[in-house]
Structure 1
Amino acid sequence: MENLIPFTVTDLSKITNHRSGEIKFGEKMLTMPIDEDPILFLNSCDAKYVLFGIPEDIGVRANYGRPGTATAWECAIKSIANIQHNRFCKGSQILVLGQLDVIQDMKKVAHLNFNKVDDRTKLSQLVEKIDKEVSHIIFNIIKSGKIPIIIGGGHNNAYGNIKGTALAKGKSINSINFDAHSDFRILEGRHSGNGFSYVYEEGFLKKYFIFGLHENYTSKSVLDILKKTDDRVRYNTYESINIRKEKEFNQEMTLALEFIETDPFGIEIDLDAIPNIASSAMTPSGFSIEQLRLFITFFAKNKNASYIHICEGAPELCYDKNNHLIGKLIGYLVTDFIKAKNCIEQL
């Protein structure tokens, strides 16, 4: 895993706010020892969950979106480090692996223009490079028997998460995606809007459920594709659940789980489905944070839930000084996932 920047005990100490009488996650989470082989350490350490950051917005740029998702990892890990370590959730269950090294790649895209064909090709090629690196890291985490918690980047990284998990499991896997968009667009070169369609076409994604699709922002061509693949790709819409009340939230979660639970599956969370959360495709209308937390808890309780990916949050696009709140939100979602997974062992 040569493209990994390990997160050190010194890094963790710098972002943990120590306070007398309290124990923070940052005081208990594990980090990679200096000069230790990452794969050997993954296989030997006691942590059940592995935090991995992808600080890029190249896939978003390639999809003509607003950049900013590169900052989510740094914002999130600062908040996670300062969560209270207590009987509800313990930081000692977590290894902070580190982040994907995309420093040079991000420099390369700083002045690329999506509207230029050559630049668009360069962006897609860099996304493909990231695909391979993410797949490799996720493969090694899953193969070690650990559960990845992936934070940051555009939704292009669903490709690497799914492929890496499928390779480690030795078979294609399923996915549940809490998202306003399908990210199942045509194979026109890699970007954040077609990660699922590419990994489906390549045979690593078996069944795919999109939860809460926004009707106003799903093209006729995508709807036609979804209709043709109904045996393996299904969806519901936000409007059918929360606006027209034709469907009920809890029942829809049950139906979605019945569709995907027969095989290992990944939980994909796109923060642009939540109103007023700064992202490349920010929305004024959508499910509440409480509904998202219920969603994660419901699906993570299943034994086949193999990872969670929280993406598209863009703290640098916040309009005020409260950009730390995206990191705090991600912290809630991460601990909801861990608490739900831990419930399985307690049954």
Structure 2
Amino acid sequence: MQNLVLFSSKDRDALLNTRKGESKFGEHVQLLTNLNNIYEDISNLDVDHVIFGIAEDIGVYANHGKTGAYRAWEASINFLLNIQSNSFTKAKRVLILGYLDYSNACEIVKQEPTKKSISKARQLVESIDKDVTFLVSSIVKAGKTPIIIGGGHNNAYGNIKGLSLAKNDLVNAVNFDAHTDFRPEEGRHSGNGFSYAYAEGFLKNYFVFGVHENYTSEKLFKTLKKIKSIKYNTYESMAVRNELDFNSEMERALNFVSGKHFGLEIDCDAIENIPSSAQTPSGFSVKDARQFVHYFGQHKNVGYLHICEAAPRKKSMQKVGKLISYLITDFIRANDH
């Protein structure tokens, strides 16, 4: 894959901060020294989880959003490598594959949005879709569970399609998100990954957890209500009006998606005060997000974890890196069957 940059021992050593008497996560993870056939190379490794990043925010730009999501991989890998390696973190069962690099294509996001630049960005997203689909499908076929660090939520499409192709069946998804990302099929961007996956026959049941009522149109709510294979709840119904219980709603969502293999999607837009493409001052707590990942990560049919839309600046790299590291390790612990 021309856009895949393998994570090397040299990369790891440059980021590791070793300390006498301690053992760091990065000292024990597995790496690939070269790549011939990704399916065969990964199949032969004694690991459970394969972590890779998608360094892009083209899909966010194509959706007229706030860019910066390309930095999430850099922030995450730096902090993940330097957590403690112990019986809880299971570093030896993890392969850090590398990241999909779109630095050249990402030059487009520096332009003032025009009809022409948005159209071009949406075409670029289609090429990113192909890479993500191939990578996720190859990892799942090899019997491993992908952990994907975005990037924009446009990459949900490639995740879902990749899982579906690997399983040769429709799959389900649960999305912890302030937005439905079920916008019209007007050209690929971060706001319509699920609608495209549904329209093209890869996605069956879809549950959106925590939609913000202020940022979802009446037209979209009506669309969701018409489709029996889509369920949702709102943040306000749980956290403001206390009409619904968080834990009971997680159970309802799991019952809706767990009959088939399903994707676990975490959009950082849903977490309060986390730098993201649509940062919110009112949202779920980090604790809520971690409990959500743990709850769904335990199920035997969870097909992958995708954490997306975090958009750290220089001053917030630590905050974002630590958050994503927590979510990754929560999933690894829960997913240890």
Matches within 5 A, 1:268-307: 268-307=265-304
Shift of 1:325: 1.2
Shift of 1:40: 2.3
> Deviation string for 1:97-149 (max 9, x for gaps)?
11112122112x144333x2111110100011101111011110111000000
CA contact (8 A) 1:179 1:210 kept: yes
**1:223 matched to 2:221:** yes
Shift of 1:13: 1.1
**1:60 matched to 2:54:** no
Matches within 5 A, 1:245-256: 245-256=242-253
**1:112 matched to 2:111:** yes
> Hey, what does 2:306 align to over in structure 1?
309
> Deviation string for 1:31-87 (max 9, x for gaps)?
111365433221101111000100100000011111100000010001110111101
CA contact (8 A) 1:8 1:33 kept: yes
Report the CA distance shift for 1:192/1:41 in structure 2 as closer, same or farther (over 3 A): same
Once residues 35 and 335 of structure 2 are traced to their aligned partners in structure 1, the CA distance between those partners, rounded to angstroms, is: 31
CA contact (8 A) 1:59 1:191 kept: yes
**1:44 matched to 2:73:** no
Once residues 5 and 240 of structure 1 are traced to their aligned partners in structure 2, the CA distance between those partners, rounded to angstroms, is: 43
Q: Secondary structure at the match of 2:290?
A: helix
Name stretches of at least 5 consecutive residues in structure 2 with no aligned partner. Answer: none
CA contact (8 A) 1:113 1:120 kept: no
CA contact (8 A) 2:179 2:215 kept: yes
Give the one of 322, 325, 337 matched to 2:319: 325
Give the one of 189, 195, 198 matched to 1:197: 195
CA contact (8 A) 2:61 2:109 kept: no
> Hey, what does 1:335 align to over in structure 2?
329
Once residues 322 and 137 of structure 1 are traced to their aligned partners in structure 2, the CA distance between those partners, rounded to angstroms, is: 29
Give the one of 212, 216, 233 matched to 2:210: 212
Q: Secondary structure at the match of 2:206?
A: strand
Q: Secondary structure at the match of 1:315?
A: coil
Q: Secondary structure at the match of 2:335?
A: helix
**1:243 matched to 2:240:** yes
Amino acid at match of 2:12: L
CA contact (8 A) 1:226 1:234 kept: yes
Q: Secondary structure at the match of 1:306?
A: strand
Q: Secondary structure at the match of 2:99?
A: strand
Q: Secondary structure at the match of 1:323?
A: helix
Once residues 264 and 284 of structure 1 are traced to their aligned partners in structure 2, the CA distance between those partners, rounded to angstroms, is: 33
How many residue pairs get aligned? The number is 337
What is the TM-score with the length of structure 2 in the denominator?
Answer: 0.98
Once residues 140 and 35 of structure 2 are traced to their aligned partners in structure 1, the CA distance between those partners, rounded to angstroms, is: 22
Once residues 101 and 295 of structure 1 are traced to their aligned partners in structure 2, the CA distance between those partners, rounded to angstroms, is: 29
Q: Secondary structure at the match of 1:31?
A: coil
Q: Secondary structure at the match of 2:232?
A: strand
Report the CA distance shift for 1:199/1:322 in structure 2 as closer, same or farther (over 3 A): closer
